[in-house]
Structure formats: C-alpha cells, structure tokens
Structure 1
C-alpha cells in the first residue's frame, strides 16, 4: 500500500488469537522528510487506528493516530517488532526499541502461527486511591454503579499515560456497553486519562476479557490495547498477588485478540512484560 506520502505500508495484525483477529496496524520505514501531518495522513489512508514508523538503524519507533503522536503503543510495538523480524529474514531476534524517550528490551520469535513478540513495559504507576467523581465517566460508558465488580475497584494506572481501569461483574455487561464516545472523550480529557479500560476477570483471576475506549485520542474502541493489559497485570499483582494474566479483547469488533502480561515487584515498583503474536498480512 502506498499513498501521497510515498511510503510503502505493511499491515500487521497484532496480538492475534489462535492465528486470527488482532489489531490491524500500519507499519512502515520512517522517512525523515515526513512531517507529523504526513504521518497522521498515513494512518488515515491505511484505515487503521494506529501506525508505527520504524527506523531500523537507530532502533526507534514512533506511533501515530489520526490525532497525533503517542508516547507509546503496546500492540504497535508488537506489530513493529514483528515487521522488523520479517524484514530481517531471521527466525529470532533479541534487541531493544527506543520510543518516547525510553529504551526497552524486545524479543521476537517466528512460529508457525505468526511472530511472537515480548517487550519490557517498565514500571507501572498505580494510583492508590479510587478515583473520585466517576459519575460522568460511568454515565458516558452506560455503566450503572451496581455493575462494578465486587472485590475489585476502579483504579488509575499509568505506564507513561494514565488510563482508568474499570472492573465490571460479567462478560455480558462488558459486551453490552455502547458508550457515548463524544461525552466520554470530554470526561477523559477533563481528568487527563488516555481512555477507559473496562474488564472482567475469571474466578481464577489469571484470565480476563476487556474493552478499551479511547475517543480522547481519536480511537473510539481499540481492538487491542496491550499497554492497558500490562496495567491490569500490575493492578492484579498489587491487589491479588497474581504474576501473569491473559487478556482477551476485540470480540465485539469481530477481531478476537489475545495479550499476555506478567508483573513483578522490584525495588523500583511493579514492572511488567507484555507479549503477543503478530501476523504479517500484506
């Protein structure tokens, strides 16, 4: 795929589930002649929610939506590292990625069903107090207060950009949500949130289903939000001592997706790693 930006775009399905679904992500070699308006146009022309612009020599990746640049992007990192392994023509690579002023470790391994990618998300900041004045956000999401899961509570988490983690009781409640996106965008911007990650966990607490709404950054519903899955892993580690979780997303968009996340307590706080499988589509 090419456009007026003259870049050759590859579509990568990131965080697939059993070889299908995943979040379509545009990936291309960055061109230093591009300005940010051109990068935003790449996303629009590709018809994806995000695009990853990679510089293989400098090991840098920049992420854009149609609204502008993001500090980081979890499923975009999975897509970018899978793309780089594919173009190297190798079966495994251990390296690093520079994004948003950070440098973090990455691993990519080719399998029969796609390219498995893991990356170090880093320290997750968990706000200690339950956010106050959630009525506006709950109303925009269409969630009644009695739908919030017992034994859990809303929490703000940040791997660099804060977002609201919101637990609900059941999968039917999760899948029935039809949020008022313009209203939700206003509510999130007012609080400085990237978006709302609504989830429900299984009784065993090692699996979850989730949906991410981020209209404040131009993404009404994200097929996959891997960084929020890492935030959830950190939250469950802090509250229930879980060390890993598998998060299913994308079902309401008809693109079943899976993100793996692990959490560990260190001297600096809770750090996480995120994994997913990507398929090079074109």
Structure 2
C-alpha cells in the first residue's frame, strides 16, 4: 500500500438471511490509494468488492458521504451490497470499525446523502440488535426486450438455450445493462454451471455487466392472500468484472423488482448465495413514480471483523 502503510479495513457481511451468511465486503476510509492499490484490496481480504468511504468536509457528524467501489478488475459506478455495507459501517460504533464508525450518529433511519462518481442519492440505516438494516434508492431502472442476438450467445454460455422460460429474458439497465433470465425450476437454477469464459466474451461483446438468473415468483413464492408480495431465488454471474458469481447483488435485484412490478409484485425478497454455501437475502419495494417505477432496495448487515495494518 502507499508509503508502505496499509489502511485499517472493516469487513462487513451485507444482505444477511435470518442473521446468517451475507456477502463479505471490504469497507475502508478514503486514504488516497492508487487505483491499482484499490483493486488489490478485495483479493487481499478475500472479498468480491471493496468500498472506499469519505465524509463531507462538514465533519464527522455529517450525513453526506462519498463512495467508490472496486473489484479486482477496476472501479464500478455502483454496487448495491457495497452500499448496504457502507451504511452499516458508518452507523456502527467507532470502536467496532476502527474507522468512520458513529459517523451517522444514532442509527435511526434518518436520510443519508450518498455520492458516487455518477450520481447523488439517498440511503438510510437503523440498528436492530447486532444487525444494521440499510436501504437506499438505487436510481432509475429501464427494462426492455432484447433482440435475439443479445440473448442467444448468453443463454448458450449459461447452458439455458433449451429452457422454455429463458427465452423471456429482458435487458435491465441500472447504470449498466444486465440480462434478467427466468428459469423454469428451482433445480435448474441450483444446477447451473456456466462456461464463464464464454459468458465473459458474450457479455463483453454485448456490453452487459452480467446475467441475473432467477426462479419465481410463483404461486408457491407469494405470501398467501397478498399477490403484491413475492419471494424469488436468484444467481448473478459477472465474470466481466472479475466476479464469477456474486453472493448478493442488490442492484440487479432492484432491476428485477422494477421488471416484476409491471405484473403487480411490489414487495419482493430475493434469496441468493445458496450455490456458494453463503445464504443472502435482499428486499425491495416499488411504488409508482412520474417517470417510471421507484425502487428501494436493501438488506441487513453486521460488522464481521476489522483488519488492522
């Protein structure tokens, strides 16, 4: 690291399911590292992503926060579970994180202004026991039907070219486009073993971030008596950004929520990570806006460990 001094890193498990699992995410204060050094952090900590956090000049009680997200391949314009992790990190006690803890004051779900290189948006976080419950506005989502040449190479790489539901894939854009792919059975989802090299080539050629494959919601996945609510299982493959499979992907879940809201599902819970042995869950709500669906996405998080230099 710069000048031979490594920063203190807090590892937060974001998007827990019933208090377990969650995606380990490295969170650390902005310290002026080079982009090459930032890319090294996930590999050094054994996480898929790293989030760099800086507070506005107003001081340590400021609720104005800037975020940058990195994988081993480079910077991302956004990261949903990374945002959940950053909000938990900022609300956790300072003695727990060794960094910007307590920056938000009492964790009472009051709004927090979040800034990334591409946009300014709002998040909130509250504490329930040892967990932090965070949610945020991921931004506008657009969904469209793809052309055949946008799906065929991707479905072949996924091994889904014969699945009867996969042909109903859609391209959803939230910052970057990704392919939402439904499958006909939970067992199909669990058994996926994509050709990751072939998938990376196809996604790179089409400009896709990756592929979000899901099963549901079905009649079994809905809350009895309330057709607005659904529960889905999903897997996210993104080899183009150095993440063969994501434990939790909140922004792609927000894309799916916007897509399913057109059929009346306004409250959605998505389970991920089972194929990796690390359960995770992400929750969304959708309401109508003047220019399209307004999505809020979030999950529970805990501080897992602090790595000191």
* 1:64 match: 70
TM-score (norm 1): 0.93
- For 1:7 and 1:212, the matched residues in 2 are separated by 30
Q: Which has the larger radius of gyration?
A: 2
TM-fit CA distance, 1:112: 1.6
TM-score (norm 2): 0.85
Q: Matches of residues 105-184 of structure 1 in structure 2 within 5 Å? A: 105-127=122-144, 129-133=145-149, 134-148=151-165, 153-184=168-199
RMSD (Å) for aligned C-alpha atoms: 1.8
TM-fit CA distance, 1:145: 2.6
Q: Matches of residues 1-282 of structure 1 in structure 2 within 5 Å? A: 6-32=6-32, 34-57=33-56, 59-86=65-92, 87-88=101-102, 90-92=106-108, 93-127=110-144, 129-133=145-149, 134-148=151-165, 153-204=168-219, 206-238=230-262, 240-282=263-305
Tell me the matched-pair count.
Answer: 276
- For 1:248 and 1:168, the matched residues in 2 are separated by 15
SS of equivalent residue, structure 2 residue 139: strand
- For 2:185 and 2:4, the matched residues in 1 are separated by 46
TM-fit CA distance, 1:202: 3.1
Q: Please tell me whether the aligned partners of residues 19 and 113 of structure 1 are also in contact (alpha carbons under 8 angstroms).
A: no
- For 1:4 and 1:203, the matched residues in 2 are separated by 54
Q: Please tell me whether the aligned partners of residues 131 and 154 of structure 1 are also in contact (alpha carbons under 8 angstroms).
A: no
Task: Name which of structure 1's ranges 102-111 and 134-143 shifts more when overlaid on structure 2.
Answer: 134-143
Structure 2: give runs of 5+ residues left out of the alignment: 57-63, 93-100, 223-229
TM-fit CA distance, 1:199: 0.1
SS of equivalent residue, structure 2 residue 168: coil
In structure 2, the CA distance between the partners of 1:64 and 1:5, relative to structure 1 (3 Å rule), is: farther
